[in-house]
Amino acid sequence: MKRLLSIGLILALALTALPAITLGDGVTLNVWTNMTGVVNETFAEVCREFTAETGINIDYAAPANDYEALMKTKMATEDLPDVFSTHGWSVIRYSSFLRPLNDQLWFGDISEVIIPLITDDDGNIFVLPVDIDIAGIVYNRDILAEVGVDVDDIVTWTDFAAVCELVKEAGYIPVYLGGKDDWTIGQFFDWVAPSFFVTNEAENDRDALIDGTFDWNKWGALADMFADWNQRGFLNVDAATSDYATCTTELGLGNVAFEFFGNYAIVDANKAGPANLGMMPIPAYFEGDTPTLIAGERLAMGVWKDSKHPEEALQFINFLARPEIMSKLASANGALAGFESVESDTGAVAGDFEKYADVRTFPYFDRIYLPNGMWNDLCATGLGILNGSMSTEAIVDYMRESYLEKMDLL
């Protein structure tokens, strides 16, 4: 018996020496993305197609929620995947780890919408934008029709609040948030803040936000608007404790008029029910300003500058840049393709993309105008308003202090 146990133990120990299994021989690329669901499956399929065509193996990983934490550790230890997605941070966070891709043949094909968002001060781009994240507010067309509102009449936040009042009176929830997943609250501020501080050509704080001279008392107007909505019952009663899954379920069941999510929420909402959903631009804060859309990276892939297999990594990037592959991945995301010339299936919002093609786009607020690390402050202060623990003054002080600290100005 003892001998058997010893043999068992030795065998088990021997098993630990086994490295991860890879398919076939030759070069193996480590490829990581932050994609989930259908896009993740489609990407895995594309990886298999690449291996079948080139014989180059791919170890594809998509650690979902843990992607950012893992990438931070990998950056700290300088051990990045050969090819990885930059989830909106190709310039600010990852550019020093990535190989510039301006020399690739497809460089001139990149869409005009995305190119300023992925270009650094020296004119370098570090990623292949497979698709473009263009987002507004997701809304229920039927509810707006029922209360007799044309979505294009909603130009300012005052108009938006008036519609919320009508929606509430009609027995629907105007805006749904899922505070347990606090990013849903952070995203609200990320969506709305540009209209207060960035989009108005006549009066904006773009430079002040970047150079550290921003007057944070101005943030009070935004916090007040959110608190006012909460007080007037425009938000779901469980806004602080609900979650993203409930947000999309309620949207799909046709109980909610507006949600501040990208178009991926429509895909998730359709799982709960076939609600008639669309995308509208984000209203303006100032009279005279116009509604805008948010634009940014969605699936953007870069090559680690110290990759042991740079040629193969570039080969993979160029494979992703093929029109049919790019179209397949962009369609899985329900997003516009990264190249002007490539068509994609944008699903329920295809008409909206066409309708709002000329609407001005602005980048995600926190990615450009807030120092690294302030995303959590957007989430925390929003929750503070919802649970009544923070006054407007407290939020302004909190944001100012965090901003100055992270800008090294304290």
Partner 1 sequence: MKTAMKKNWWRYLLTVAILLLYLAPFYILIGVAFKMPSDPSSRWILPNYIYLDNFAKALEGRILQGMQGSLIITLCSVSLIICVGALAAYPLARNKSKLNKAVRGFILGVMMVPPLSILVPIYSVMKVINGISTYYGMVLLLLTFQLPLSIFIYSNFIASIPTALDEAACIDGCGPFRTFISIILPQLAPVTASVAILTGVTCWNDYQFSLYILQKPQIASVTLAVSDFFAQTSSNVFAAAAAALLGLLPIAVLFLLLQKHFIKGMVDSAIK
Cα–Cα distance, 100 to 310 (Å, whole number): 12
Binding residues with partner 1: total (CB under 8 A):
35
- Dihedral (Cα; 348, 266, 71, 322), 10-degree rounding: -10
Block residue for tokens 């402050």:
377
Cα separations in angstroms, 399 against 127, 176, 219, 309, 372: 32, 24, 8, 44, 13
Contact code string over 350-389 relative to partner 1, x by CB under 8 A: ----------------------------------------
Q: Check binding of 323 to partner 1 (CB under 8 A).
A: no
Please list every residue from 249 through 288 that binds partner 1, using CB under 8 A.
Answer: 249, 264-265, 268, 272
| Residue 67 or 369 having the CB closest to partner 1 | 67
Cα–Cα distance, 46 to 326 (Å, whole number): 10
Among left, alpha and beta (phi > 0; psi -120 to 50; other), residue 401 is alpha
- Pairing of β 277-280 and β 131-135: unpaired
Cβ 35 to partner 1 shortest distance, Å: 9
- Tally of CB atoms within 10 A around 69: 10
DSSP string, 111-140: -TTTGGGGB-TTS-B-EEE-EEEEE-EEEE
Q: Check binding of 345 to partner 1 (CB under 8 A).
A: no
Cβ 273 to partner 1 shortest distance, Å: 10
Contact code string over 71-110 relative to partner 1, x by CB under 8 A: --x--xx-x-------------------------------
Q: Check binding of 203 to partner 1 (CB under 8 A).
A: no
| Residue 39 or 163 having the CB closest to partner 1 | 39
Q: Rounded to a whole number, what is the largest CA-CA distance in the chain?
A: 86
- Tally of CB atoms within 10 A around 347: 16
| Range in contact with partner 1 (rule: CB under 8 A) among 67-75, 98-106, 279-287, 400-408 | 67-75
Contact code string over 4-23 relative to partner 1, x by CB under 8 A: -----x--xx-xxxxxxxx-
Question: Of these, 2, 3, 25, 66, which contacts partner 1 (CB under 8 A)?
Answer: 66
Provide CB contacts within 8 A for 34, sequence distance 6+. Answer: 62, 63, 64, 67, 68, 85, 87
Please list every residue from 169 through 188 that binds partner 1, using CB under 8 A.
Answer: 181, 183
Q: Check binding of 202 to partner 1 (CB under 8 A).
A: no
| Token reading at 294 | 């948010």
| Residue 182 or 377 having the CB closest to partner 1 | 182
- Residues near partner 1 (CB under 8 A): 9, 12-13, 15-22, 36-37, 59-61, 63-66, 69-70, 73, 76-77, 79, 181, 183, 244-245, 249, 264-265, 268, 272
